[in-house]
């Protein structure tokens, strides 16, 4: 069978299957991201090559859409940092609020997230190879699409902190604000600013 067309209403398909031919028994999962609240639907027209039969299948859901970039400031101890490797996942990195008392060797950590209109924060970026899939099969974006005015020393994941992924900044000598920038699925460019505590 061959995908003839895909039409997303109130959403954007993360991968266009148009023109792709596959065995008739193929189970196809198509990830979409909402561009507005309310009902979203996907129509896929397929042709069965052996018979030239053409069918359209549809699926719908109540959609939620991306609205902003958010960032939280945390501190990580030098002892915990020394045990981290790039892109490692730990149960609890012991991240503390940036307003808590500073200890010698503490480093500033940023937890960036995309927020949606009705749901909590999420981190839809690939920490390692790109593209990659999220927990629901959705395709995540390249980490390079999230930029900061100060490049992180490393990325890691703390399962005890939402949305999980965090960027460890290099040692800071000033409390200069750090700008984060990315593009939502809607195409809108969004920013967030973190002012780290004084060193």
**Secondary structure (H, E, C), 76-137:** ECHHHHHCCCCCCEECCCCCEECCCCCCCCCEEEEEEEEEECCCCCECCEECCCCCEECCCC
Q: How many domains, in total, are found in the chain?
A: 2
The answer to whether residue 19 is domain-embedded is yes
Q: Do 47 and 105 fall within a single domain?
A: no
pLDDT at 101: 86
Cα–Cα distance, 19 to 16 (Å, whole number)? 9
Nearest to 41 by CA among 26, 56, 27: 56
DSSP state of 65: B
The answer to whether residue 199 is domain-embedded is no
pLDDT at 15: 79
Between β-strands 107-116 and 189-194, what pairing exists: parallel, antiparallel or unpaired? unpaired
Of 32, 63, 94, which marks where a domain is finished?
63
- Coil/strand/helix, residue 143: helix
pLDDT for 52-107, tens place per residue? 899 998 988 877 778 999 999 999 999 999 999 999 888 888 999 998 888 889 99
72: which residues sit within 8 A by CB, 6+ positions away? 110, 111, 113, 194
Q: Do 27 and 99 fall within a single domain?
A: no
Q: Do 37 and 92 fall within a single domain?
A: no
pLDDT for 4-35, tens place per residue? 999 999 888 877 889 888 887 777 777 787 77
Q: Is the pLDDT of residue 134 over 70?
A: yes
pLDDT at 146: 95
pLDDT at 14: 77
pLDDT at 192: 97
Structure tokens, 33: 């991201």
* Domain boundaries, position 17: 2-63
With a threshold of 0.85, does the pTM exceed it? no
């Amino acid at each position: 069978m061959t995908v003839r067309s895909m039409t997303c209403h109130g959403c954007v398909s993360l991968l266009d299957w148009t023109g792709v031919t596959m065995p008739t028994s193929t189970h196809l999962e198509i990830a979409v991201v909402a561009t507005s609240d309310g009902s979203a639907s996907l129509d896929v027209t397929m042709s069965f090559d052996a018979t030239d039969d053409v069918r359209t299948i549809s699926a719908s859901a109540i959609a939620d859409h991306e609205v902003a970039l958010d960032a939280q400031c945390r501190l990580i101890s030098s002892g915990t940092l020394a045990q981290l490797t790039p892109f490692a996942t730990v149960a609890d990195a012991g991240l503390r609020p940036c307003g808590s008392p500073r200890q010698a060797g503490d480093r500033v950590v940023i937890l960036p997230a995309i927020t949606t209109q009705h749901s909590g924060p999420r981190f839809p970026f690939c920490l390692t190879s790109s593209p990659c899939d999220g927990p629901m099969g959705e395709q995540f974006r390249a980490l390079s699409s999230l930029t900061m005015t100060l490049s992180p020393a490393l990325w890691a994941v703390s399962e005890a902190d939402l949305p999980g992924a965090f960027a460890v900044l290099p040692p800071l000598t000033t409390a200069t604000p750090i700008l984060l920038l990315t593009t939502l699925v809607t195409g809108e460019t969004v920013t967030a600013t973190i002012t780290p505590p004084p060193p």
